[in-house]
Structure 1
Amino acid sequence: MTVIRTGSPLDWREVCAVAAGAPLELSAQARERIGAARALVEQIIARGMRAYGVNTGVGALCDVVVSPAEQHTLSHNILMSHAVGVGASLGAQETRAIMAAAINNYAHGHSGVRVELVERLVALLRADCLPEVPALGSVGYLSHMAHIALVCVGAGHVNWRGERISGAEALRRLGLEPLSLEAKEGLSLVNGTPCVTGLAALALQRAHRLLDWADAVAAMSFENLGGQMVAFDAGSLAYRVSPGLAQVGARMRAALLGSGLLAAALGRRTQDPLSMRTIPHVHGAARDVLAATAEVVNRELASTTDNPIIAGTPEEPRVFSQAHAVGASIALAMDSLAVAVAQVAAMAERRLDRLVNPLVSGLPAFLAQASGTRSGFMIAQYTAAALVAQNRREAAPASLDGGVTSGLQEDHLCHATPAALKALAVIDNSGRIFGIELLAAVQAYDLQPIAAERAPYTQALYSQVRAVLPTYRDDRPLADDITRAFHMIMDDGPPPLPGPLTVRPSRDFCIPAPTDCVAGSAAASANDALPGAVGT
């Protein structure tokens, strides 16, 4: 599938498609808008209108006038001085997502770069010839796109077909000449929010998949621990107004439909621990955050995030040298998403602890096949606890870090790109936590003392895991199993839930009449739920 940047902006799912390898093309309409904006830049230069980064220096040098003869040098030098990233490089998907978001931004037609420059980025994507982009060193934007742009002028490095080569050699192999940047192009190449927006799109995709797995894995733990299905009763949940909560409640009812284990546990307890009975509340709250974050990211993709913005007509060109490159809204959204995912994962670790603790599980200690000589999942729970603690540190808000740069000119920093990188790290950590819970839940089924059938859905999940990983008997490094489970969770979604999940007719999520309630049985219907995908 080819993604085409038309008159409408890309949405986050299209950015993810390009990140996964889909080609990106510019429509004729997009090219026309880019060209029209470039014509306005030429008028601004010809008229001697002061425009930040066009005929002035940048940052604290914004009042230093740059002559027409020096404007090419200014653009070129901006790339060199702003390419200050450090640390390990971003992955291929992350780099492609940033490039797609940048092309989308230029196609709004308010940046003033040449069509040839945007086509150069398109060509690199088409060839999957990806610039080497160090992940660290940004307080908001600048460095990531600078490293990408280096390749356009024959500098920097790329990773292509498993080989690291110079930007100059990459262009030679592609049959392309290095570009000579013109006025404003250097600045447009490094500023704006494409770096955080591309990364945020990937965070949305990975968080969406993770939350689907969170529901599935939680259902397995809930079943193993003999939970009370009344926690997912549709009538009860409807008293709290939350689309995410209603959706998760329906998903849990569908996942546990027909469980003999839960039928045997019916009425055993008045209420379950919070890590079990608040699955709809916590997972649902995270889904609500996910939906809100998707709106923010799509708004960012629909916005021009350049500085300055070029507008007006050839007769009356206008320049807005203000602050649209600052990503406060998306920084806050990324911080919120990281906290939401971290909370869901923290509760998973608490369920995991209950599975391995014989005082509350009714299962063999630490899910070991033989107590004393085997430790089972004792230390795997330590790993999960360590990852929860790391998530807590990573989820501290980047958007509040602040700082002062550029000689007091840039005296408020939102740290948008670091917020997105932290969110991705939290999602990865959480995938490992859920991988450990998944393995423990499958092991718990093997050790269940109750002779009763599992729900068809959880049985399918059990069979999927056991098809690639046998019962754990302390006979191999458990880390290898955890890695397999992590990739199972992060690389694809869980099996689809049984039955259609349809919307119950309602007005403003009104509370259903008591006759609509399901009375908490293990055979509760799934047909009174909200639809599956959040953020569409």
Structure 2
Amino acid sequence: MAVIRTDRPLSWRELAAVAAGEALVLSEAARARIAAARTLVEQIVERGIRAYGVNTGVGALCDVIVSPSEQRALSRNILMSHAVGVGAPLGVTETRAIMAAAINNFAHGHSGIRLDVADQLVALLDADYIPEVPAFGSVGYLSHMAHIALVCIGEGHVRHGGERISGRAALERLGREPLVLEAKEGLSLINGTPCVTGLAALALARAERVLDWTDAIAAMSFENLRGQLAAFDADSLALRVSPGLNLVGERMRNALADSGILASVVGQRTQDPLSMRTIPHVHGAARDVLDATAEVVNRELASITDNPIVAGTPDAPRVYSQAHAVGASIALAMDSLATAIAQVAAMAERRLDRLVNPLVSGLPAFLAQPGGTCSGFMIAQYTAASLVAQNRRLAAPASLDGGITSGLQEDHLCHATPAALKALEIVDNTGRIVAIELLAAAQGLRSAACRCARARNTDALWRRVRAVVPTYRDDRPLADDMAVAFRMIGEAAPPLPPAAGHVPSPAPDDHAGYGAHAANDSTAAAHHAPQSAA
């Protein structure tokens, strides 16, 4: 179903849907706003009104006047000099998200590009001819958008159906001509916060999915470890004011209320370890951060983030050359989300350690077959510990990195796009950590000596795992099972009843797997035929 950009800006969920493969359509009103803004730029050029990046240089060259005859060259040269990305390219989903956010920004009607420029980007999205965009090399937003814009003028490269082709060949296949950029269009194409905003929308979608799964998997681990259901008591949790905490508490109660295993151990312990009894507090705090971040991203999508902004009327055009392209608020929000998800991952690893540790689990050592010849999940816990440590390093705030560029003209940097990229990496790592916890919890339920009935929801989750991954007996590389579980988390919602008023995150299509490397995980993860339920 197409996402239509009308008078209302895209929401982060709509942007994530376009990133996942939905078509993006500009309404007639949006097209009219884009065209009207172009008229303003033409008047600015005609009247010789000084405007940054229109008839001046950019960055520290902002006081160098550029004549009308040089303005096309300025727009083209901006793309060439700013296309400085390095490293492996972003995934298709990430690049689609950035493109959709850029089109959304143009549709506000304050950028000053021609409709042809917006239509070129929409055509590339619609045909899934996705520019090749190196992931690194930006302190803000410039290089990623420059590599996307190169394709609009017939330069650079795209990927389509596994094929890498030149930008010019891609446009020929689509029956479109390379653009000759006019005044301001080069700057508009690389400017603003679409890069971080697109990536932030993906981070939100993936973080929401990971949190849903982490709740479900934590319930299975809690049952394995014979926790005390009093930890999720509604009256007790209501004493702390936190929508996220109370939502998670309700979900845990709904998931475990009918557990015969937990009913059999009521009152046996005064308090469970913190990694068990603070599930609502930690998962809930992350959900509160997620909601706050979503508000910031939606505000960013509703904002005009160009520099300069064109406004006014053709008779009285105005230019605002301020700092709306600086993404301080969204950089801080991405840093906050990254830290919240890293904390959820750290606690998941602690539950995993309890599952494999015979000193506290009451389960076979490392969930392995007896006899000492099998290691079971011993080393998988090492992997989780390593990813937790990597998350801890990544969670250092990018928004404080600072730096000085452009000959002291840009002497304060917020590093918004790097903040979003590392948030995405942390979410990916967290998905892998909770995938290992899922496998271990499924193994533990099989190994449990107690013959009491499992909760319906944990049993449903166990059966879903066993439909694709058999009980582990040290008979195959465990990494393959981990990849299958990771892909499961990225593709569908968990079988956990939602709390009142909570809408589970929708299942993404093939484009929306976790991160640029999700395809590599799935390739390595041949699905195993399930063994008989044990």
TM-score bracket relative to the smaller structure: over 0.9
Residue 412 of structure 1: aligned partner: 412
AA of the residue aligned to 1:407 = G
Looking at structure 2, the residues matched to 316 and 468 of structure 1 have their Cα atoms a distance apart, in angstroms, of 65
Looking at structure 1, the residues matched to 356 and 182 of structure 2 have their Cα atoms a distance apart, in angstroms, of 64
Looking at structure 2, the residues matched to 426 and 531 of structure 1 have their Cα atoms a distance apart, in angstroms, of 24
Residue 513 of structure 1: aligned partner: none
AA of the residue aligned to 1:484 = V
Residue 527 of structure 1: aligned partner: none
Instruction: Give how far 1:501 is off.
Output: 3.4
Measured against aligned partners, the alpha-carbon deviations of 1:34-71 in whole angstroms (never above 9, x if no partner) come to: 01111011111111111000000000000000000000
Superposition pairs of residues 256-275 of structure 1, within 5 angstroms: 256-275=256-275
Looking at structure 2, the residues matched to 350 and 102 of structure 1 have their Cα atoms a distance apart, in angstroms, of 41
Residue 315 of structure 2: aligned partner: 315
Structure 1: segments with no counterpart, 5+ residues: 503-529
Residue 384 of structure 1: aligned partner: 384
Residue 207 of structure 1: aligned partner: 207
Looking at structure 1, the residues matched to 408 and 108 of structure 2 have their Cα atoms a distance apart, in angstroms, of 31
Residue 118 of structure 2: aligned partner: 118
Instruction: Give how far 1:533 is off.
Output: 5.3
Looking at structure 1, the residues matched to 464 and 161 of structure 2 have their Cα atoms a distance apart, in angstroms, of 33
Residue 233 of structure 1: aligned partner: 233
Indicate conservation of the 8 Å contact 2:205/2:505, yes or no: no
Superposition pairs of residues 65-214 of structure 1, within 5 angstroms: 65-214=65-214
AA of the residue aligned to 1:305 = T
Looking at structure 2, the residues matched to 479 and 377 of structure 1 have their Cα atoms a distance apart, in angstroms, of 11
Residue 499 of structure 2: aligned partner: 501
Structure 2: segments with no counterpart, 5+ residues: 507-534
AA of the residue aligned to 1:8 = R
AA of the residue aligned to 1:386 = S
AA of the residue aligned to 2:300 = E
Aligned pair 1:531/2:510, yes or no? no
Shifted more, 466-475 versus 58-67: the winner is 466-475
How many residues in Structure 1 have an aligned counterpart in Structure 2? 506
Measured against aligned partners, the alpha-carbon deviations of 1:191-235 in whole angstroms (never above 9, x if no partner) come to: 100010000001000000000001000000000000000000000
Measured against aligned partners, the alpha-carbon deviations of 1:290-332 in whole angstroms (never above 9, x if no partner) come to: 0000000000000000000001111111101110000000000
Instruction: Give how far 1:161 is off.
Output: 2.2
Looking at structure 2, the residues matched to 89 and 21 of structure 1 have their Cα atoms a distance apart, in angstroms, of 18
Aligned pair 1:32/2:32, yes or no? yes
Indicate conservation of the 8 Å contact 2:212/2:504, yes or no: no
Instruction: Give how far 1:532 is off.
Output: 4.2
Residue 301 of structure 1: aligned partner: 301
Secondary structure of the corresponding residue to residue 311 of structure 1: strand
Indicate conservation of the 8 Å contact 1:84/1:143, yes or no: yes
Looking at structure 2, the residues matched to 123 and 382 of structure 1 have their Cα atoms a distance apart, in angstroms, of 46
Looking at structure 2, the residues matched to 447 and 172 of structure 1 have their Cα atoms a distance apart, in angstroms, of 60
Measured against aligned partners, the alpha-carbon deviations of 1:93-116 in whole angstroms (never above 9, x if no partner) come to: 111110000000000000000011
Instruction: Give how far 1:20 is off.
Output: 1.0
Looking at structure 1, the residues matched to 352 and 327 of structure 2 have their Cα atoms a distance apart, in angstroms, of 38
Aligned pair 1:351/2:322, yes or no? no
AA of the residue aligned to 2:324 = H
Looking at structure 1, the residues matched to 370 and 474 of structure 2 have their Cα atoms a distance apart, in angstroms, of 9
Aligned pair 1:41/2:53, yes or no? no
Superposition misfits of 4+ residues, deviation over 2 angstroms: 530-535
Secondary structure of the corresponding residue to residue 414 of structure 2: coil
Indicate conservation of the 8 Å contact 2:197/2:301, yes or no: yes
Aligned pair 1:339/2:310, yes or no? no
Instruction: Give how far 1:152 is off.
Output: 0.5
Secondary structure of the corresponding residue to residue 264 of structure 2: helix
Residue 518 of structure 1: aligned partner: none
Looking at structure 2, the residues matched to 489 and 163 of structure 1 have their Cα atoms a distance apart, in angstroms, of 28
AA of the residue aligned to 2:106 = Y
Indicate conservation of the 8 Å contact 2:154/2:179, yes or no: yes
Superposition pairs of residues 438-457 of structure 1, within 5 angstroms: 438-457=438-457
Looking at structure 2, the residues matched to 26 and 280 of structure 1 have their Cα atoms a distance apart, in angstroms, of 42
Instruction: Give how far 1:173 is off.
Output: 1.1
Indicate conservation of the 8 Å contact 2:245/2:283, yes or no: yes
Secondary structure of the corresponding residue to residue 494 of structure 2: coil
Looking at structure 2, the residues matched to 286 and 534 of structure 1 have their Cα atoms a distance apart, in angstroms, of 15
Looking at structure 1, the residues matched to 127 and 187 of structure 2 have their Cα atoms a distance apart, in angstroms, of 25
AA of the residue aligned to 1:336 = S
AA of the residue aligned to 1:446 = R
Looking at structure 2, the residues matched to 531 and 190 of structure 1 have their Cα atoms a distance apart, in angstroms, of 38
Measured against aligned partners, the alpha-carbon deviations of 1:480-502 in whole angstroms (never above 9, x if no partner) come to: 000001111122211241xx733
Indicate conservation of the 8 Å contact 2:493/2:504, yes or no: no
Secondary structure of the corresponding residue to residue 449 of structure 1: coil
Residue 524 of structure 2: aligned partner: none
Looking at structure 1, the residues matched to 393 and 139 of structure 2 have their Cα atoms a distance apart, in angstroms, of 18
Indicate conservation of the 8 Å contact 1:37/1:311, yes or no: yes
Aligned pair 1:462/2:462, yes or no? yes
TM-score normalised by structure 1 residue count: 0.93
Looking at structure 1, the residues matched to 41 and 85 of structure 2 have their Cα atoms a distance apart, in angstroms, of 29
Measured against aligned partners, the alpha-carbon deviations of 1:141-195 in whole angstroms (never above 9, x if no partner) come to: 0000100000010000001122101101111111111100000000000010001
Using a 3 Å threshold, how does the CA distance of structure 1 residues 106 and 43 change in structure 2: closer, same or farther?
same
Instruction: Give how far 1:19 is off.
Output: 0.8
Indicate conservation of the 8 Å contact 1:287/1:534, yes or no: no
Measured against aligned partners, the alpha-carbon deviations of 1:430-466 in whole angstroms (never above 9, x if no partner) come to: 0000000000000001110111110000000000001
Shifted more, 272-281 versus 42-51: the winner is 42-51
Superposition pairs of residues 40-59 of structure 1, within 5 angstroms: 40-59=40-59
Instruction: Give how far 1:371 is off.
Output: 3.9
Indicate conservation of the 8 Å contact 1:290/1:534, yes or no: no
Using a 3 Å threshold, how does the CA distance of structure 1 residues 532 and 175 change in structure 2: closer, same or farther?
closer
Looking at structure 2, the residues matched to 28 and 466 of structure 1 have their Cα atoms a distance apart, in angstroms, of 51
Instruction: Give how far 1:531 is off.
Output: 2.9
Indicate conservation of the 8 Å contact 1:82/1:146, yes or no: yes
RMSD: 1.1
Indicate conservation of the 8 Å contact 2:493/2:505, yes or no: no
Indicate conservation of the 8 Å contact 1:364/1:371, yes or no: no
Secondary structure of the corresponding residue to residue 247 of structure 2: helix
Using a 3 Å threshold, how does the CA distance of structure 1 residues 27 and 201 change in structure 2: closer, same or farther?
same
Shifted more, 274-283 versus 19-28: the winner is 19-28
Using a 3 Å threshold, how does the CA distance of structure 1 residues 74 and 93 change in structure 2: closer, same or farther?
same
Residue 522 of structure 1: aligned partner: none
Looking at structure 2, the residues matched to 223 and 347 of structure 1 have their Cα atoms a distance apart, in angstroms, of 16
Indicate conservation of the 8 Å contact 2:9/2:301, yes or no: yes
AA of the residue aligned to 1:501 = A
Indicate conservation of the 8 Å contact 2:209/2:505, yes or no: no
TM-score normalised by structure 2 residue count: 0.94
Residue 373 of structure 2: aligned partner: 373
Indicate conservation of the 8 Å contact 1:291/1:534, yes or no: no
Secondary structure of the corresponding residue to residue 265 of structure 1: coil
Secondary structure of the corresponding residue to residue 411 of structure 2: coil
Calculate percent identity across the aligned residue pairs.
75
